[in-house]
Amino acid sequence: MRPSIVLFGDSITEEAFGEGGWGAYLANHYSRSADVLLRGYSGYNTRWAARVAHRAVASIAGAVSAVTVFFGANDAALPDRGSALQHVPVAEYKDNLRAICALLKKRWPSVAVILITPPPVDEDGRLRYPYAHDSSGLPERTNAAAGAYARACVDVAKQSGLRAIDIWSRMQKFPEWEKTFLRDGLHLTPRGNRVLFEEVVFALKDADLSLEALPADLPLFGDIDPDNPGKSFEEGEAS
């Protein structure tokens, strides 16, 4: 059966199928080999995601080969600023990630779960695009806080034997990453989406889900016998 790759996360995942989005890149990359399914929930933290994870994936049928779990940007909102309602303490964040991953593994025992850390935060960008018109003059998120959650995410992956994409560290290796990869200090620009897409493709390749490792869905045009196309299709069904 044609395998599926599920993207489970917050607004950065919900936006993934937008123009220049990392999910759109991924769907195009695997267009003939796998279905990319979106389960993105803007504003969600891991506390809420852990409660609804079973509902989020309940309607997904068939073989799921991989799931990306991309939460933490909202958990890392500061508890005394404008986005306090989204804040989740680091220790609970780690427990919630473990619970989400355990649920996914229970539903699909052979699935490759890939954790993605929250991205870095451009605090100047958050001041220019404040949450809910917050007039405090303080960013509701900081890069230092996002880094703490990124490290916690990587720790959970290591302890659980899962793959992790440390996008927080990866993006900051580039000059002028603040404006190059983030459009409002938090959400990704097309270039930021491209960097994340490339990291996800690399992680999927490490999980033996590279484009080369997956068979094409139905015979390729060049493999169809024009004099006996039915035979080509029957061979595909038999395999």
Active site (catalytic) residues: 11, 184, 187
Distance, CA of 6 to CA of 55 (rounded, Å): 14
Are 54 and 106 contacting, i.e. CB atoms less than 8 angstroms apart? no
Max Cα distance, the chain (Å): 73
Distance, CA of 206 to CA of 199 (rounded, Å): 11
Distance, CA of 211 to CA of 29 (rounded, Å): 8
Distance, CA of 113 to CA of 7 (rounded, Å): 10
CA distances from residue 155 to 89, 115, 117, 152 in whole angstroms, order as listed:
15, 10, 10, 5
